[in-house]
Structure formats: structure tokens, C-alpha cells
């Protein structure tokens, strides 16, 4: 199944991306919201605070804090007490949360947080790339990346559905490209309360902090037990793989919209060249695929919707018959000179029977525009790899050498 959108024009509104996400959070009926404003995430929590002021989110507390570290720390106690919790942040704010991200995951608290992806400093940059969330890939949070506003909104409910599943119980980040998605206005269907209530049941955690039944969360673990905690977290991530697919399919059954679960494919069945990407870049690639297909070039798109847990088997099944795969990354692992999608895809294919050339191209850092011409040039280079082999495994696709 590929992207399916059943949009009733009578139900459509034109809304800002941040508003669409805030509305989605509202109809998911959170009990505690705690966040600190930082560009380009601020509009989300502004809209949520207005909803609170207008009495539109019943049975909810909105906690104002002095930093992003405090914002997530406040949710540790709230989630442990049994509350459905939400936060949002970006860039330096997410990095400030780094210590607490591990605590939330280690305590198996299914907090959902929107990341409005933004470049990290220094130098100071407020525009979009995905370095901030990718840098937190090993903290034990599910990570999902949205292509557009409708998916950003719908992904919020799906994230709660997966995170709160008793076989998972792990926190989740829903990532949307800052400004490109957070500040753009598009027509979309805002999530309907009655359908969300049907899709997302009330949160009923198995274990909570309760004086009548004392429990310990985040206990001390010496070397005789610590490894097993990490093993169970990884097991929960493994459990999340099918749950993400189930959540996407159930969402389609109720709402009529489908974006893929772990991944989505576009024109990959007979593709010689497969381009892989995450986030809003996917939309540009779709247009390029259509243009090049009209010229007889067999190129396809593999949209990686879920980066954590990494969908290794799903990716392998799509790329196994391609002649070359190009992973496009809006991040870089400094010291390795590779984007993380490329590194992890390459690693997942190693020691398997899938023997397809794969290269990585990094682009769009700090919000640099990614025109169709850049994608077309990458495809042209990929055609050369098919005929002559790999020359450069990983490089910047849009480097301005005159500035060096």
C-alpha cells in the first residue's frame, strides 16, 4: 500500500502546521503538557496554551517551566503518576533535554513529543535540518518523520497509540521539518474528536506511582541487573516494529488516510535507482520521480517514516532488486562524514544476501534549499554508478566550494 488520502473537502481547513499539531494533541486528550518555547516550535505550545485558556482541553494541566530540561523533567513525574503527557521542542532545546531523554525511556514512560527539526549551533542557525533529533537516536525514543502537515497531524495520534501499547511502553518523537512544515499553511483535515476517541483509548498504565501501592521508578541498578534493563528496552523497540504498522493500518481503517507504517514506497517495483529520504524532502523527490519516469528513467522513492526502531527488514525487501540505492541525509555524523540514514542502511544490508551498491549524499544543512535540479543531478550520478561503480561513497551534494 502506498500513500492514500481520503480528504473530504467539506471538512478541510487551511491551517498552519504548528496549529494542526497542537489541535492533534488537544484531541488526543493529554493530562499534562509541559514545554518551553523555542523557535520554530513556539507556535505549537502557544496554540496549546490558548486551547487551555479557552477550556478546550479538559482534565489537563499546563506546566510553565524555566527550560527544556525542566519541561521534560516535569513530565517524568507526571507520566509515572499515570498521566498522558506531551511536550515539544527543537534544536538546542532538545540537546538540553539529553539527560532526561534517557530517564524517560529507561523508566518506560510513553511521553509523546513533537520535534520541529532545526539545525544546531554553532554557528547559530534557526533553519531546518534533522541534526537535532538524529543526534538523539540512541536515547531510546521511537522516532517518526512526517512528510507534510496532514501526516504531522495524524502522526501524533499514531505515536500515542504505539507508545502506550503495553508491549512497547516507550516514548516517541514525531519529527516535522522546522519552518518548512511548522510555519507553512496548507489545506488539511484537522483530526476529529469522535474518531480520535475511537482510535485512541484512554491511557491506562499498568504501573503508576501510588501511595496506596508503593512502587519504585528509575531505581539504582548495579552491574548484576543493568544489562537486562537495556535488553528489555531493545525488546520493546523490537515490539514496536509491528505495532507501528498496526497503528498505521488501523488509522487508515478509521480515518481513510495512510502514509506507510515503518516505510512507504513510490515507483520502486521496477526501479533501477532508489532514492531514500525522511521528512519534507520526500515531497520534492516524488515530483522528480514523476518527471524522470516520464523520460523513461527507472527511479523510485523509499520514504523512511520510522527511523527508530530502524526498519532494516522492510528496507531490505524494497531495495533488494535495485541497481543502486542513494540515501539522502539532512544530517552528518562528524568524524565519519556520513549521514545516519546512509550509515544505518548500509550496516543493515551487510552480512545479508542483498548485494546492492549504496551511496550517501548529504544536503539541506542549515535550511539550504533543495531544488529539483539537485535531486536530478544525484540521479544522473547514480546512473554512472550503475555503469562504472562507486567513485565516492559519501559526500555533500550541495557544497559551495567557493566559500571554503
pLDDT in tens, 159-187: 999 999 999 999 999 999 999 999 999 99
Q: Distance (Å, rounded) from C-alpha 175 to C-alpha 286? A: 20
| Average pLDDT of the residues of the chain | 96
Q: Model confidence over 264-286: pLDDT tens digits?
A: 999 999 999 999 999 999 999 99
- Does residue 383 contact residue 390 with C-beta atoms inside 8 Å? no
pTM (global) more than 0.75: yes
Q: Beta-carbon neighbour count of residue 100 at 10 Å?
A: 20
The residue assigned the cell 520535534 is 115
Cβ atoms of 173 and 116 within 8 Å: the answer is no
pLDDT on residue 6: 67
What tens digit of pLDDT does each residue of 346-361 get? 999 999 999 999 999 9
Residues 6+ apart with CB under 8 A from 287: 372
151, 198 contact by CB (below 8 A): no
340 close to 304: Cβ distance less than 8 angstroms: no
| Rounded Cα gap, residues 347 and 363, in angstroms | 21
What separation, in Å, do the N-terminal and C-terminal C-alpha atoms of the chain show?
A: 45
Q: Among the residues of 37-184, which ranges form H helices?
A: 42-53, 68-80, 91-96, 98-106, 131-134, 149-163
Give yes or no for a contact between 328 and 276, defined as CB atoms under 8 angstroms apart.
yes
What is residue 350's DSSP assignment?
Answer: T
C-alpha cell at 274: 532508489
Cα separation, 298 vs 25, in Å, equals 40
Q: What is the Cα–Cα distance from 20 to 57, expressed in whole angstroms?
A: 15
For residue 5, say if its preceding peptide bond is cis, omega within 30 degrees of 0. no
Q: How many angstroms separate the CA atoms of 375 and 381, rounded?
A: 10
Q: Which residues of 334-344 are buried (b: 16+ CB within 10 A; e: fewer)?
A: eeeebbbbbbb
Tell me if residue 211 falls in helix, strand or coil: coil
Q: How confident is the model at residue 11, as a pLDDT?
A: 85
Residue 1 pLDDT level (bands cut at 50, 70, 90) = low
Per-residue confidence (pLDDT) for residue 10, from 0 to 100 = 77
Residue 9 has pLDDT above 90, yes or no: no
Banded pLDDT at 8 (limits 50, 70, 90) = confident
Amino acid at each position: 500500500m502506498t500513500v492514500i488520502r481520503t480528504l473530504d473537502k467539506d471538512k478541510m481547513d487551511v491551517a498552519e502546521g504548528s496549529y494542526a499539531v497542537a489541535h492533534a494533541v488537544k484531541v488526543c486528550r493529554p493530562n499534562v503538557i509541559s514545554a518551553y518555547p523555542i523557535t520554530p516550535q513556539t507556535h505549537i505550545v502557544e496554540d496549546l496554551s490558548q486551547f487551555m485558556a479557552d477550556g478546550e482541553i479538559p482534565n489537563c494541566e499546563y506546566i510553565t517551566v524555566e527550560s527544556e530540561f525542566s519541561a521534560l523533567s516535569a513530565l517524568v513525574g507526571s507520566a509515572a503518576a499515570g498521566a498522558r503527557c506531551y511536550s515539544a521542542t527543537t534544536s538546542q532545546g532538545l540537546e538540553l533535554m539529553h539527560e532526561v531523554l534517557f530517564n524517560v525511556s529507561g523508566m518506560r514512560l510513553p511521553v509523546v513529543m513533537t520535534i520541529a527539526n532545526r539545525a544546531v549551533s554553532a554557528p547559530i542557525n534557526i533553519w531546518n535540518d534533522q541534526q537535532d533529533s538524529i543526534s538523539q537516536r540512541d536515547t531510546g525514543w521511537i522516532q517518526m518523520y512526517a512528510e507534510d502537515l496532514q501526516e504531522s497531524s495524524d502522526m501524533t495520534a499514531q505515536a500515542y497509540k504505539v507508545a502506550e501499547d503495553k508491549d512497547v511502553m516507550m516514548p516517541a518523537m514525531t519529527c516535522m521539518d522546522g519552518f518548512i512544515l511548522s510555519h507553512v499553511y496548507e489545506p488539511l483535515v484537522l483530526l476529529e474528536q469522535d474518531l480520535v476517541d475511537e482510535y485512541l483509548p484512554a491511557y491506562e498504565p499498568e504501573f503508576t506511582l501510588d501511595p496506596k501501592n508503593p512502587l519504585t521508578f528509575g531505581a539504582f541498578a548495579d552491574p548484576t541487573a543493568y544489562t537486562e534493563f537495556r535488553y528489555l528496552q531493545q525488546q520493546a523497540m523490537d515490539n514496536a516494529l509491528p505495532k507501528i504498522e498496526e497503528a498505521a493500518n488501523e488509522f487508515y481503517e478509521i480515518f481513510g488516510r495512510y502514509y506507510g507504517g515503518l516505510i512507504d514506497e513510490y515507483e520502486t517495483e521496477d526501479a533501477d535507482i532508489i532514492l531514500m529520504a525522511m521528512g519534507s524532502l520526500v515531497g520534492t523527490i516524488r515530483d522528480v520521480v514523476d518527471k524522470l519516469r516520464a523520460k523513461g528513467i527507472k527511479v523510485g522513492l523509499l520514504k523512511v517514516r520510522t527511523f527508530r526502531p530502524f526498519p532494516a527488514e522492510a528496507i531490505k525487501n524494497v531495495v533488494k532488486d535495485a541497481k543502486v540505492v542513494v540515501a539522502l541525509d539532512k544530517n552528518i555524523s562528524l568524524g565519519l562524514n556520513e549521514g545516519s540514514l546512509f550509515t544505518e542502511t548500509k550496516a543493515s544490508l551487510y552480512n545479508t544476501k542483498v548485494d546492492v551498491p549504496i551511496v550517501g549524499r548529504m544536503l539541506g544543512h542549515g535550511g539550504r534549499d533543495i531544488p529539483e535540479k539537485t535531486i536530478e543531478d544525484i540521479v544522473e550520478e547514480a546512473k554512472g554508478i550503475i555503469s562504472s561503480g562507486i567513485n565516492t561513497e559519501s559526500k555533500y551534494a550541495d557544497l559551495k566550494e567557493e566559500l571554503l
